[in-house]
A and B are shown apart, each in its own frame.
Chain A
Amino acid sequence: MNKLANDNESSAASGVAVQLSKVRKQYGGAIALHDVSLTIQDKEFFTLLGPSGCGKTTLLRIIAGFENVTAGSVYLHGKEIANLPANKRPVNTVFQQYSLFPHMSVLDNILFGLQMRGTPAGQAKKRARAMLELVQLQEFANRLPSQLSGGQQQRVALARALAPEPEVLLLDEPLSALDLKLRQAMRIELKQIQEEAGITFIFVTHDQEEALTMSDRIAVMSAGNVQQVGTSHDIYDAPANRFVADFIGESNLLEAQVLHRIGTEVSCALPGGVQVQAEISADATDVSSGTAGHLCIRPERLRLSMPNDPSLNVLTGVVVRQIYLGTDTQLVVKLAEGQVVQVRTQNAEHNSALPTAGSSVDLTIQPGGVRFLSA
């Protein structure tokens, strides 16, 4: 019985593509990564998300082998690779500027990795053609990279990195050089290619929308630390701390103090005395009555309600400004307690009925729409 459990465990361990264990990176006195530990599953689309300078690119370069770790271990499918040089790692990278070899044709670019690996010529050609087909650039095989558009260069970079069948594909902000429309189209395409190729993608971006739309799981990073790891839903709906709440999407952060806690529910008081029921993460064990922190409410979770609605979680205030955004209208509301919150309503119908600047409004927080963050 015990043995069987162990077997299950080891087979689960083989489902891990990349494991980082207390990875630390220091440049002189400056610490770029503080003992980062992450587990990335096989065939997962995993995103490292954070503002510039948060260490996400450094982490990617450590996995690729371009940077050494100061301390800690990196495992690829269970094998320690921290001391393996980049050209010995079965990991390929799509670079931010693509870095296609300018003197080689598209086909030669894609063949490069296969040739360096010593793949027999016939087999390499076949593989390269298949990659061109995957990214739908068959007719561009003999062009030079400079003769392609940005989006096409991006696809060649992807095909080139996928051709040698890496165990993990690393993507360093590959969409940032494209214009908005193309970027949006490429998001869906990238995800499709990842599913078709059936390999692990580790994707670095500072664009939260990109991260939310493509990723199976996201690690939000800041200042060399991983702030939270979770699915798009986890990260948006249940941010672990103020940084994540603020960085991902828009949020209203209101100072509050815990009155009492029952499991994952807390009653909080705003500075003006208004009481709000909020949810809290089960592992926030340090939160009890008296803890000070912030309430996080997404703008779309606030709903305009009839004045004097007797239900709980109602805030009152005055509309300061109405901002028309096309699909939505945003209201800036100054609460009775003095804080300013953003409210978002969809422009599905009768937006003429929206309160204008100066009118008093009651705001109901939708069930599950407010979380208490102690950090």
Chain B
Amino acid sequence: MSSVGERIKSYPGFGVLAAVCLVLLYAPLLIVMIYSFNESPSITRWGGFSLTWYVDVFTGSESSKFKVAAWNSISIALMATIGATTIATAAAIGMTRSGYWRGKSLSFALINLPIMVPEIVTAVATLIFFSAIGFKTGYLSILLAHIVFCIPFAYLPIAARLQGISSSYEEAAIDLYASRWQAFRYVLLPILLPGVVSGALLAFIVSLDDFLITNFVKGAGVETLPTAIFGAVKQGIKPNIMAISTLMLLVSVLFVTVSWWIGRVGDKSSVVASK
């Protein structure tokens, strides 16, 4: 392991290539974060350090619009997470605990396809679907769309963890007089929990920052944070957008870190040790 790592490091140009990649990936984010603390209303000229724009986000003229949008984003993300995680857990158990059956790999592909399908296609298709069945676009249509496209993101970490859990735990529970539900509730779910939490956090983040699909199915008058930011940017970029972006970035980083940490603690937990 370490020898391969050492070798890659000694390749000519490794350092330069790595630096270029890092700059391309993170320089824009860094600039946004730095300029969110800019005193001046210009987005290109530095006028000294200040928290003005953070104050503006919460109290300024656009703050009420952003507050509604933020609340929509968070409430939709929470409900979409619960819905998608429940469905993904059921799907993962169905897929990994059912042995072989015809069409199993096809089902696996169907569950995960939404990750591969270009988002714009999903967005257009979802909008057409809603209008075809006469579903009024608005808060509810956003929620339904989010539940659906979050499923594969929740599914992957749950299924990955489930594959590492021997089915003999559930057999042992059933052997000890537990019903199928009790075996799930008292034995499988607690062991699976790190995977479920990981999947849920991922689904939450994906829902929270979705723009494309939301923008297609939201209808008039309903905004989430990403669509509200987009609307504001169209009228010219002000540093308060940078402050909101930095705040959202912070929330995302926090969630992803927690998800990763839980996954790691879960891996180190006794399931592996008792093998």
Contacts and interface: CB of A to CB of B under 8 A. Distances in A.
B270 A95 contact: no
Contact of A145 (B171, B179, B270): B270
Interface in B162-185: 166, 168-169, 171-179, 182
A225 interface: no
Interface string B238-275: 00000000000000000000000000000001110111
A224 interface: no
B177 A99 contact: no
B69 interface: no
A144 B186 CA distance: 16
A260 interface: no
Nearest to A66: B171
Given A99-B171, A116-B182, A144 B270 contact: yes
Interface string A89-113: 0011101011111110000000011
Contact of A93 (B172, B182, B269): B172
B196 interface: no
A117 B173 CA distance: 11
Contacts of B172: 93, 95, 99-101
Contacts of A92: 175-176
Nearest to B178: A116
Contacts of A50: none
Interface string A101-144: 11100000000110011000000000000000000000000001
A98 B190 CA distance: 18
A95 B171 contact: yes
Given A112-B173, A116-B177, A117-B177, A103 B191 contact: yes
Contacts of B123: none
A97 B166 contact: yes
Contacts of B178: 87, 112, 116
A85 B169 CA distance: 17
A146 B274 contact: yes
A95 B174 CA distance: 13
Given A100-B274, A103-B270, A95 B177 contact: no
Top-8 shortest CB links A-B = A102-B270, A146-B270, A113-B176, A146-B273, A116-B177, A99-B172, A99-B168, A103-B190
B43 interface: no
Contacts of A146: 269-270, 273-274
B269 A102 contact: yes
B168 A95 contact: yes
Given A145-B274, A153-B274, A112 B166 contact: no
B271 A102 contact: yes
Interface size class of A (residues with CB under 8 A): 20 to 34
A288 to B, nearest CB: 50
A242 B168 CA distance: 36
B175 A97 contact: no
A93 B187 contact: no
Contacts of A102: 191, 269-271, 273-274
A117 B182 CA distance: 12
Contacts of B271: 102
11 contacts: A64-B175, A85-B174, A87-B174, A87-B177, A98-B274, A99-B169, A101-B169, A102-B269, A102-B271, A102-B273, A113-B176
A87 B182 CA distance: 11
Contacts of B273: 102, 146
B84 to A, nearest CB: 25
A160 interface: yes
Contacts of A98: 274
A317 interface: no
Interface in B196-220: none
Contacts of B182: 116
Contacts of A16: none
A71 interface: no
A358 to B, nearest CB: 52
A140 to B, nearest CB: 14
Contacts of B174: 85-87
Contact of A112 (B176, B191, B270, B274): B176
A288 B190 CA distance: 66
A103 B188 CA distance: 10
A116 B270 CA distance: 23
Interface in B125-170: 166, 168-169
A67 to B, nearest CB: 11
Nearest to A100: B274
Given A87-B175, A87-B176, A95-B171, 18 more contacts: A66-B175, A86-B171, A86-B175, A87-B174, A87-B179, A97-B166, A99-B169, A99-B172, A101-B172, A102-B270, A102-B274, A103-B191, A103-B269, A103-B270, A116-B176, A116-B177, A144-B270, A146-B273
